[in-house]
Amino acid sequence: MSNIINESKKDDFEKWSALKTNIHFAVEVRRLLFKAREIWWASIGVNIGHEEDGKNFRYERPILIIKKFNQHLVLVIPLSSRLKDNIYYYRFIFENIPRTAIISQIRIISSKRLIRRMGRLNSDSFKLIIGEIKNFL
């Protein structure tokens, strides 16, 4: 196996590290109101291996809030516009656009990562996704 570093990925890691530091130590106090079933853009970063990365300069990706633990921690599932069909993914429609919930990448994140709210998923679709999570586990 080669130890050659992909320079582009290394550059992304360095940029993400700087942004992550800024997000963590941000002085501004943001009182975000968020709930289960909401879809937000979130800075999920540059991750290792096959973990889902964010995109653009904020390393952001849409996420679905599964559970709010408190004002600081939320359980989320990253979303994708790529429509995959297997047990690790669940397709649904949000605002007339097909999306995929990446069930295998469910995780807890800090609410500091939340950027902007996109909207709220209807309760029927949310119940189906929760069922898929239960089947997955």
Residues 80-133 have pLDDT tens digits of: 888 887 889 999 999 999 999 999 999 999 999 999 999 999 999 999 999 999
Q: Is residue 58 part of a domain?
A: yes
Q: Is residue 2 part of a domain?
A: no
Pick from 135, 118, 113: nearest CA to 24:
113
CA distances for 76 relative to 34, 58, 106, angstroms: 12, 18, 6
The model carries a pTM of: 0.83
Q: Is residue 1 part of a domain?
A: no
CB of 66 closer than 8 Å to CB of 106: yes
Q: Is residue 89 part of a domain?
A: yes
CATH number at residue 120: 2.30.30.110
CB of 77 closer than 8 Å to CB of 97: no
Q: Is residue 35 part of a domain?
A: yes
Q: Is residue 105 part of a domain?
A: yes
Q: Is residue 30 part of a domain?
A: yes
Residue 1: is its pLDDT beyond 50?
Answer: no
Number of domains in the chain: 1
pLDDT value for 10 = 76
The whole domain housing 52 covers: 7-136
